Amino acid sequence: MAMTETALPSQFVPVSKSRHGGRYWRRFTSYDFARGLRQVPIVSGEHEQIAANFPILFRPSGPKGAQWCAPMALLRSAPAGNSAFVAANGSWKAHYVPSILRVHPFGARPGRQPEGGPGEEIQMALLVDEASGLISDNPDDEPFFDADGEMGNGLAEVVEFFRQRTIAARKTQLASVALVRAGVMKQVDPDQPGMADLAEFQVIDRARFQALNDTVISQLFRSGALALAIAHFVSLSHVAFLHNVEKHIENLPPEATSAGVFKDERSERLSDFLDALAEAQDFDQSEH
What's the mean pLDDT when you consider all of the chain?
82
Going by pLDDT thresholds of 50, 70 and 90, the confidence category of residue 265 is very low
Element (H, E) at 143: strand 142-143
| DSSP H stretches of helix in the chain | 17-20, 47-51, 153-181, 206-210, 214-223, 225-235, 237-250, 254-257, 265-271, 273-286
Q: What is the pLDDT of residue 66?
A: 55
**pLDDT tens track for 18-67:** 999 999 999 999 999 999 999 999 999 999 999 999 999 999 887 665 57
> Could you check whether the bond before residue 190 is cis, i.e. omega within 30 degrees of 0?
no
- Mapping DSSP to helix (H, G, I), strand (E, B) and coil, where does residue 207 land? helix
Strands ordered across the beta sheet of 56-61: 39-41, 68-74, 56-61, 202-204, 185-187
CA distance 239 to 224: 24
Give the percent of the chain with pLDDT over 90.
Answer: 67
C-alpha Rg value of the chain to the nearest Å: 20
Phi, psi of 189 (to 5 degrees): -85, 110
Region 245-261: what's the mean pLDDT?
A: 56
C-alpha distances (whole Å) from 31 to each of 65, 69, 83, 86, 89 are: 37, 27, 11, 7, 9
Give the Å distances, CA to CA, from 223 to 38, 177, 195, 214, 227: 28, 9, 28, 14, 9
pLDDT greater than 70 at residue 6? no
Q: Is the per-residue pLDDT at 117 higher than 70?
A: no
Q: What is the pLDDT of residues 163-206, one digit of tens each?
A: 999 999 999 999 999 999 999 999 999 999 889 999 999 999 99
